[in-house]
Structure 1
Amino acid sequence: MPPHLHPDHDTPVIDGDVYVRPRHLARATGTGDPALAPLTALGWSLRHDDLGNAYVHAPDDRVRLGFLPEGEDDGLWRINAYKDPFAPPTWGVCFNDSVPTEFVTAFTTALATAYEQGPDAYLARPDPRVPDRDPFRAVAPLTDRGWLFARPDPDVFSIQSPDKLASLDHTVGPLSLDDELNTREARWHLWAGTSINRPLWYATASTDTPVALITAVTECVADPAPLARWREATFSYAAGMAHLTPIEPDRPSAPTPLDVQRAVSLRPTPPRVTASVPRWSTTTSRPAPSRR
């Protein structure tokens, strides 16, 4: 989980004991609450079924999210948007059960912003003629961080992370919306691992998913900052791939030379003493050292 503020003060609280680098190898956390929060904060309705699945609906019922730990497949997060609440979805996004929760949170945060702006934002179809809606705007955060174009394929535009353990695939040509919503055969396919058939995690987005929402995810994926996780939960996937760095407990930092100089300048001048001042010797007890 990313750092958050302690409820009683402004000290960051980190949920984990190791940092995972690169972050696309961190995988999911144990709770989906951070990803639900941007939408419920807008007053979207939240309900649960008897199995523990959660459903979030926008007030106009044009955007719906399902958090489905007891779903029929590994699609843990399914988000759909509609021009008409009773019509088929206009676009759909799926994050499987291993996607780092921070990536889902980036999406729902951008979705909350778009929803407040209105249908022209959260139903904005990609359009290469419009700069803000050009699909390849979503690729820029990755290429800016060193992701490179991968296998040349006339049907798939693909770029890979520098360690070749994550990939973003953009399919060219016509696709069935039904396939995009229910399979991994979608316009956008983001995944991590050494095999596309058995990825560590994956996410898909259909053709008409707004570019701003996809860009929010790629920006989060491209962020070089590590993600905090618990060490015992990392061995199943990170061994030999991710870099794990212990999270040190908070310690007061050592004073810099400038700090010392300032302290000396602010210290009051002591009165002049003419009497002798006792000094430490082998027969006097040394005071306990002060804690830094």
Structure 2
Amino acid sequence: MLAYPWLERPREYRVSPRYLAGPTHTGDPGLQPLIDAGWNFSRDDLGNVFVTTPDHTVRCGYLPEGDRGPLWVISAHAHAFAPPAWLITLDLEAPPEIVGDFTTALAAAHATAPETVVAGDTRIGNDVTNQLLREGWRIDPQPSATALRTPDQLVTLHRRRGHLNHEAEMAGDGERWLFEVGPPDHRWYAAASSGIPAELLGTLTTAIGNPGAVERYIRPSHLDRLPRQAIAVPAAPTPLEVSRVQAALAHSATPPRATASTLAYTTATRPPTAPQRALAGRSR
């Protein structure tokens, strides 16, 4: 153990699956695709950031200094002064790369056919369910909802059935689609309201379930703060680390199980969501 752990230098690791990597303390990966597409950028005195289409019909807020609620809020409106037609939120622990995948698709869809971004189909539930089942997700029917889970059980998508009050959904008091991501002690949430276009819901689902790796700068002594299901591999291990791993493997007929802590010093080739209130669970 270091005598002065605060002097330990962070190192670059590739963390997978990326939905367990946590945030990066910057919203750039999620905001940049919208700024590159020519959307308007502004921020308040606290540091919250707002990006909108030039016609103000689609809006994205990155709210690290918000009083309560999610870190990310994305909404679409029929016109600049209309109430939101649909709403997406992601909480404080959502990796911004996931938001970036969604905002990239959102910007492209708005540039090609702006009307399709607002006009959603309320009958998309079965289509999304069938698509996820084809991709290997498992279904768990429940009395008022359907739960779909990835094979590793670390991502669950709850789909509420029946009528939901639109105003309540827009206020964050309920949601048609709720993602629960990660193990219980490292869980984060994302939600999508009724009315979201099927293509955008599909993009959000794919982005959240993507098991690829992302880069994170982490102090080696802080690796145990990651969920135990996460794998962290140094982006550039030192020669000493390489020699230590080679020596350990040479003396072990049965290599140890790969975990976040052991893989942190192992070289590797870089790989090419009950009642509505209870389910929400997205308080700051």
1 CA distance for matches of 2:128 and 2:101?
Answer: 13
Structure 1 segment 1-292 matched on structure 2, within 5 A: 17-126=12-121, 128=123, 134-139=124-129, 142-150=132-140, 152-183=141-172, 185-195=174-184, 200-232=187-219, 234-238=223-227, 240-248=228-236
1:240-280, CA deviations, whole angstroms, 9 ceiling, x for partnerless residues?
Answer: 222222323599xxxxxxxxxxxxxxxxxxxxxxxxxxxxx
1:42-83, CA deviations, whole angstroms, 9 ceiling, x for partnerless residues?
Answer: 221111111001111211111111111111214111111111
2 CA distance for matches of 1:86 and 1:71?
Answer: 23
Q: Which runs of 5+ in 2 are unaligned?
A: 1-9, 240-284
- Residue 234 of structure 1: CA displacement? 4.9
2 CA distance for matches of 1:159 and 1:73?
Answer: 28
Contact 2:102 2:207 survives alignment (8 Å): no
1:28-50, CA deviations, whole angstroms, 9 ceiling, x for partnerless residues?
Answer: 22211121111111221111111
- Closer, same or farther in 2 for the Cα pair 1:230/1:145, shift >3 Å? farther
2 CA distance for matches of 1:177 and 1:127?
Answer: 12
2 CA distance for matches of 1:16 and 1:143?
Answer: 38
Question: Matched residues, percent identical?
Answer: 35
- Residue 159 of structure 1: CA displacement? 1.0
2 CA distance for matches of 1:139 and 1:221?
Answer: 15
| TM-score, normalisation: structure 2 | 0.72
Contact 2:19 2:182 survives alignment (8 Å): no
AA partner of residue 168 (structure 1): L
Contact 1:22 1:224 survives alignment (8 Å): yes
AA partner of residue 170 (structure 1): R
2 CA distance for matches of 1:40 and 1:138?
Answer: 29
- Secondary structure, in 3 states, of the residue corresponding to 1:17? strand
AA partner of residue 31 (structure 2): L
Q: Which runs of 5+ in 1 are unaligned?
A: 1-14, 129-133, 252-292
- Residue 117 of structure 1: CA displacement? 2.1
- Residue 104 of structure 1: CA displacement? 0.6
Q: Cα RMSD over matched residues? A: 2.5
- Closer, same or farther in 2 for the Cα pair 1:22/1:42, shift >3 Å? closer
| TM-score, normalisation: structure 1 | 0.70
* Higher helix proportion: 2
Contact 2:23 2:96 survives alignment (8 Å): yes
The count of aligned residue pairs is 228
1:135-181, CA deviations, whole angstroms, 9 ceiling, x for partnerless residues?
Answer: 4444566445532113x213111111222222111111111223223
Larger gyration radius, structure 1 or structure 2:
1
